[in-house]
Structure 1
Amino acid sequence: MSAVTFALILALTTVLMAEFVNGWTDAPNVIATVVSTGVMSPRAAILMAVIMNTAGAMSGTAVAATVGKGIIDPAALTLPSITSAMLSIVAWGTFAARAGLPISKSHALLAGLAGAAFAGGGLQALQWDGWEKVVIGMVLSVILGGVAAFAIGLVIVFFAGDSKPARSKRLFDRLSLVAACFMAFNHGLNDGQKFMGVFATTLLTGGVVSTFEIPFWVILICALTMALGTSAGGWRIIKTIGSRMTRLQSWQGFAAQAAASCTIFGASAFGIPLSTTHTITSGIVGAAASRRVSDVRWTVLKRIVQAWLITFPVCFTAAYIAARAVNSLF
C-alpha cells in the first residue's frame, strides 16, 4: 500500500468518525423534547431518529456543496490536514458529550476545516461568499428558532389555554410526534450533508476524482454512518436540554420542534449550513418562555452558550496547529 493510499484511507476514516460523532451527539436535538415530555420512549425515539435522519441525509446535496467547496478552497487542504481537522472535531465532540453539553458539530466542522485550510493557504484559502452563508445560518439558528417557537407558544396558549388538559395533551402529543419526525428529517438534510461535502473534498484531494462531485455511494455511506451514530443516543445531552434547562409540556415540545424544523428546512433549501443544536436549543428556550420566562433555568443555558462560544476557537486552533505540524512533516 502506497503512502498516498494509506493517507487517503485514514482521512476518509476520520471523516466517517466525525460523522458518527455528529449522529451520536446530535441525536438529542431530534428526540429530547419527545422523550422528556413522555410522548415517545427513548428506544422508539432513537429508532425514529435513525430512519428519518437517513431519509433526510439522502434527500439533497445543496448544503454538502456549500461545505465541500464553498467555505474553503479545497486546494489548500492535504490529506493529513483533513485528518487533523476531523480528529479535532471528534475529540471536542466526544468531550462535550461526556460533559452533557449540546455543542454545535456544524461549527466544530466549519472551524476545523477553516483551521486546516488556513494552515495550508492562509486567508486566501477562506472563501468569504460561503462564510456569509455561515453567518446567516448563525443568525437564523439562534434568533429565528427562538422567536418562532415563542410565537407559536403564545398562539397555542391563546387558542388552547382553556381547553381540557387531557384532550389538549392528546392533541399535542400527536403533533409533537409529527414535528419530531420532521425535525429528524431536517437534521439529516442539513447536518448529514455537511460531512458528505467533506468526504467528497477528501476524494478530490486524494486524486480519486478530478472534479468535486457527490456520488450516490458517498451519500449512502455518510447517511448510514450518521444513522449508526444516532443509534448510540446521547443521553447526557438529552437530560441537559430536555429536563435540566427547562421542564417542557407536550405543547411546548411541539412549538420548539416545529419552529426549529421549519428554520432548518428553509436554510437547507438555500444551501445554508446552520447548527441544528443552536436551533432546537433556542426553540426550547422560546417555547418555555412563552408560558413563563422563569421556566428557563438560565444558569444551565449560560453554561451551554459558553460551550457554543468556545467551540469555534477551540476547533480552529486545534486543527490549525495539527495541520501545520503534519503538513511540515509530510
Structure 2
Amino acid sequence: MTNMYRALRRRLLTPAMSETKVSVRGFHEKTPEGTELLETVGRMFLTGYGYAAESRRPLDAEAQLEALPVRFRGFAYEGAAMGFAVRDGLPLGSRRSVAEFLTGRAGSHSYMVYVGVGWALARLPRFRWPAVTANVPDDLLRGLVLDGYGFHQAYFHPDKYVHGQYREPSFPWPADIGQAGIDEIIDQGIGRAMWFVGGADPDYVANLIDKFPKDRHSDLYSGAALAATYAGGVDERELKVFWDRAGEHRAFVAQASAFAATARSRAGLVVPHNELATRVLCGMSVADATDVSLRNQPDGPVGGDVPAYTVWRRRIAEEFRALGQC
C-alpha cells in the first residue's frame, strides 16, 4: 500500500480536529485552562485515530503513539483502537487489526483499547458489528466496549443522551448479557462523557446527573469519577465538592477512581493529578487503589445475566465500604 493511499485513507476516515472544540460541541466552559485540557484530550484521541487510519499495519503506529506526552498517551491509544476497529468493520477490512494491535504495546493499554472499540461500534452500522466484536472475546473487559459506546453517544449527542436522558431501548450485544446489565455500563460511559459535557465543573456535572432518574445516578457518578481521575481538570477543592455531591453513591465514585488508577498504572502513565484524585476519592494512593481494584477482579466466568465487569465494579465498591472510605 502506497504512502499516498494511506494518507488519503487517514484524511477520509479521521474526523476533523474542530470536532473536539468545546465551543463546537456546545459544552459548558468552566475556565480557559479547563477548556484547553479537555480539548487537548480530544486532539490526542484524534491524533491516535489518525495514526491508525494511516498505518500499514497496527504495530506500525506504536512509535508515534509512544512519542506523545504521558498525560495524554492513553487517550491516543484509545483513539487508535477506534481507528483499527473501524478498519476491521469496513467491508474490505482485515478483521484482525485490533487483535494485532493488542499484541504490542497496546496490551498494557487494553482498558483504553476496549473503550475505543466501543466508539467504533457507535460509528459503524450494526450489521458490521460482528466483524469488530470478534476481536473482543475477553468476558471481563468487553464491558468497556459498552462504556465506550455510551461515551461516544453522550459526547456527540448530548442533547439526546445527557439533557434528554435517553436510554437505548434495546442493545444487541453481547447477546448473553441482560439489558439491565448493559444499561448500567452504557450509563457509566455516559457519565464519563458528562465530565466533558460539563467542562470538568463538579457542581455543573452533579446537577446534570441529579436530573436523571435516581436509579441511574450511581453509574453516572461512577463514570464522571473515572474521568475526573483519569483526565483531570480539577483541583483538590473541586474533587472534594464532587465527593460531597456524590452522597450515597460514593462507593462507586471510589470504585471508578480506583479503576482509572489501575488503567494508568498498567500503562505506566501515572501523573500527579492521578495521585491527588485517588487521595480525595479513594482515601489512598494510586498504588493502593490499584491493589484494591486488581484483587477484586474476577478470575474466571461469573455466569448469569450480570456482566463480569459489573461484578468487578460491585466488589471494588463493597471493599471501599468495608474500609470505611465511603
Shorter-chain TM-score: which interval? Answer: under 0.3
- Structure 2-normalised TM-score? 0.27
By relative contact order (CA 8 Å, sep 6+), the higher-ranking structure is 1
- Structure 1-normalised TM-score? 0.27
Q: Which has the higher helix share?
A: 1
